Amino acid sequence: MSERRMPADDGLFMPAEWEPHERCWMQWPSRSEVWGERLPQAYAAYAGVARAIAAFEPVSMVCRPEDEAQARLACGRDVEIVPLPIDDSWCRDSGPIFLVDGKGHVAGAQWRFNAWGNAYHGYEDDAAVAGLILGRLGMRNYSNNMVLEGGSISVDGYGTLITTEECLLNDNRNPEMTRQQIEEALALTLGVARIVWLDRGLEDDETSGHVDMIASFVAEGRVLLHMPQDKSDPNYVRMQDNRQRLLEARDARGRSLEVVEIPQPRRQFRRPDGRRLCTSYVNSYIANGAVIMPVYDDPNDDIAAGLMGEIFPDRKIVRVPALEIAAGGGSIHCITQQQPKGVALA
């Protein structure tokens, strides 16, 4: 097929996360510089997420070939282990973004990956893994040269996308592209017609403000927004600005958005270098029949779970401890990537 052909030309678009899944993709923790002595705890945390999701939909865990036996033992027989070369464990960002045509077919988009603006060195395997996954699935791969991570976007499946200026307009991603060129690439690859630009993500987020830590579509016209209760918290001003932008925005069908606030965890943790550890309940994974929600041994865990239950009354809310994942720089949504139901478009 011609390199110039884009997914939108073939009627493809990115569906909402709450649409039915074929499976969930994950990547096994492997970058020792991220986890240090807590790598065994990271293994246990990732395995816990994989097992929780596997109760509701198939899970495929990509791991380095030398880690296959260990991953298989930790995850159990209900999780498929897929040995492939990888550098790190954030499948939301290095894995493919799946697309559908609304007629039962699924394809994939492979973006350029540069480890969150060259935050880490040695990411060649992660830059290639999306293509390997799509090849394994026998699925059409629409590859392009724009740097993009799945955690930097949220879509409603009806043409609306939310992202942050801090991330997508950052000089460490696509300095040669204008805002309009970035919008065109998103529109043509993901099938979106309206982009809602928020300002910034969380303080000290090493992804340069991924939107999946602060805001996500939870239904058509409904956005879940991370909100600190302490007005002196540096994230408070950021989220109030984002709230205002959401309230002033319109979706692709011209309708206003309903904003549902979910509290920020109260406890604050610091990394060894003094940077704040980012924790968020927004960073949940919507599985078939369930929401796999991070908890942080925090007073707000129960409040957040109750709110999730109101938002998703037909899904089971499954809490999974995520502090060890947060220590690596993300949470449950960051380490998962949904593959929509459908037949692979070759």
Q: Which residue numbers are catalytic?
A: 334
- Token readout for 33 is 């510089």
**Distance between CA atoms of residues 116 and 179, nearest Å:** 18
The rounded distance, in Å, linking the Cα atoms of 46 and 89 is 9
Radius of gyration of the chain from its Cα atoms, rounded to whole angstroms: 18
Q: Is 92 helix (H, G, I), strand (E, B) or coil?
A: helix
Residue given tokens 């805001």 in the structure block: 215
CA distance 153 to 192: 11
- Comparing CA positions, the residue from 242, 1, 209 lying closest to residue 117 is 209
User: Sheet holding 79-83: strands in order across?
Assistant: 79-83, 59-63, 21-27, 337-340
List Cβ neighbours of 129 (8 Å cut-off, separation of 6 or more). Answer: 27, 62, 84, 85, 86, 94, 95
Cα–Cα distances (Å) from 264 to 142, 243, 294, in that order, read 37, 14, 12
Beta strands per DSSP E along 139-248: 141-147, 154-155, 160-164, 194-198, 215-219, 222-227
Q: Which residues pair with 339 in a beta bridge?
A: 23
260, exposed or middle or buried, with CB in 10 Å at 0-12, 13-18, 19+? middle
Strand duo 337-340 + 316-321: pairing: unpaired
Element (H, E) at 44: helix 39-54
